[in-house]
Structure formats: structure tokens, C-alpha cells
Structure 1
Amino acid sequence: MKCPICGKPASDRYRPFCSRRCADVDLARWFRGDYRIPGEPVPRDGEEE
């Protein structure tokens, strides 16, 4: 299995990543909202549809 971030072989300790660094890069992408599932916008509280 290859690391989804850099393509190096995955480490058993950080699977599916090769290192802590690549795991942290992936986590940062989640926090920034880089990974999204397309869908209808959700109305904010108090707004009408």
C-alpha cells in the first residue's frame, strides 16, 4: 500500500500513511475543508429556504 500523500510505502504505525508528517498533512486538509462532498447548500439558522 502506498501513502496517499507522498506515494511512499505505508508504515504499519501510521497506516495508510508513511509517517506522522503525512498523517498531519491529511488532517490539515480536513481542517481547511479541502475534502468536501458535493451537495445542496444547508440554510443557516434563521434563514428561510
Structure 2
Amino acid sequence: MPSYVLWSNLVIDIVYAVLHKAMLGFGQLSWQLAQMQLLVIVCVNSTMLDFGELS
């Protein structure tokens, strides 16, 4: 097998591993962002309800 084939396979493996880690990290990050957005929405909704009852 020519050496450039081995090198290209190695590069593909490295790129795949990096992308996989990045996707996992991004997935966790977006999950945390989604949870924060949900928390903000709940807080805003509860304060809006409080204001609605006051007025």
C-alpha cells in the first residue's frame, strides 16, 4: 500500500475524531443553552402572570 494512502487514512481518522468531539461538545452546549432558554421563558411567563394579576 502506498504511503500516501496510509497518510490520507490517518488524516481522515483524525478529522473524524475531531469532528465527533466537536459535535459532542456542541450538542452539550446547545442542550445547556436550550435549558437556559427554557428557564428564562418560565421566569418571564411567571412575571408576566404576576403583572397581569396586579393590573
TM-score grouping bracket, smaller chain normalisation: 0.3 to 0.5
TM-score where L is the length of structure 1 = 0.34
Larger radius of gyration: 2
Of structures 1 and 2, the one with the larger relative CO (CA 8 A, separation 6+) is 1
Query: Larger % of helix: which?
Result: 2
